[in-house]
Every structure is written in structure tokens, then in C-alpha cells.
Amino acid sequence: ARVALGSRNLILVGLMGAGKSAIGRMTASRLGIPFIDTDAEIERVSRMTISELFAAYGEEEFRALETRVIKRLLKSGPRVVSTGGGAFINERTRRQIKRGGLSIWLRAELDILWERVNKRDTRPLLKTENPRQTLENLMNARYPVYADADLTVQSRDVRKEVIVNEVLA
């Protein structure tokens, strides 16, 4: 798989709770290449948490920073890169991702996403009256866009190894 990837990056896209970071980390270690999570990188360069960034500057500024960080990250490879859920939805960022490597949509059903994000409330977009409904609305709006990724892998609630094997295959 490493040979096939060459210097290209493997970029995971999809909604929050799909397992991009966990699957990405495990995939990278199986391939023996570095793993990078774009949200973590944004937090590192800004020295703020994602929630703090949203609160202080709003979503638009966050997206601008996200675009810059992802553009820089994708300049070298190979790496496994997990992106924030909105990255692929942003047109500029999506173009960078499409150019920067092989994109894989980790696709999951609402119940699974909800179960995973419900445990932690770090997602500013879900600080609403009815976060489950918000998540469902995001699914409906975004799934047609994620479908533009190069490949789709189902992220079901099974052992991570099974999903990683599908990504590698």
C-alpha cells in the first residue's frame, strides 16, 4: 500500500464522530507513515482550542485558518491526514484535499455518530437546543458533498481494525 501511495497523502474526510482520528492514527501506523490531525494542528498553531477559536473569531475565521493549515500540511507526504468535519465542505479546502492526495470518506450512520459525539461536548457546532437534530441536518446537507471523495469506507460500530483493513484495501 505504501508503494501505491508514493508521496501522496491519504486524507480522511467525513462527519464528526465518524472515527477519522482513531482510524487515521491506526492506518498510519500500519503503513509506517506519519499521522496528522488537522484540528490538532490548528489548535497547536493558534494556541487555542477549536471551541475557543469559534467563540473568539467565529466559524468564518476558523475556516480560513483551516484552509491555510491544510494547504501547508498537504505540501509534503506521504502522510495520513484526518480533517475536521467541515473541511471537505469548504470549496477551497476541498480543492486542496482533492489535489493533495487520495481522499477517503468515512461514512457512518446517525446513531453511531451520535453515540460517539455525545460522550464529549467539544464540538461548537453541536452546542444547540437539539444537538442530535443538528447532527442529522449536517448529515443531510453534507453527505452529497462527501460523496465527492475518491473512495468511501463504511465506518460501522465494529472493531477499528476491520475499518482500517478496508481503508488499506
Residues of this chain that interact with ligand S3P (CB under 6 A) are 16, 39, 50, 84-86, 123-125
CB of 88 to ligand S3P, least distance (A): 9
- Contact between residue 68 and residue 96 where contact means Cβ atoms under 8 Å apart: no
CB of 39 to ligand S3P, least distance (A): 5
How far apart, in whole angstroms, are the C-alpha atoms of residue 133 and residue 136? 5
Q: Which helix (H) or strand (E) holds 80?
A: strand 80-82
Nearer to ligand S3P, 102 or 125 (CB): 125
Question: Please, what's the largest Cα pairwise distance for the chain?
Answer: 48
**C-alpha cell of 19?**
472515527
CB of 86 to ligand S3P, least distance (A): 3
The CB density around residue 137, as the number of other CB atoms within 10 Å, is 12
Nearer to ligand S3P, 50 or 153 (CB): 50
Nearer to ligand S3P, 5 or 139 (CB): 139
35 forms bridges with which residues in the sheet?
80
CB of 141 to ligand S3P, least distance (A): 11
Nearer to ligand S3P, 77 or 93 (CB): 93
- Contact between residue 110 and residue 135 where contact means Cβ atoms under 8 Å apart: yes
CB of 4 to ligand S3P, least distance (A): 26
Nearer to ligand S3P, 1 or 131 (CB): 131
Q: At what angle do helices 110-118 and 131-146 cross, to 10 degrees?
A: 130
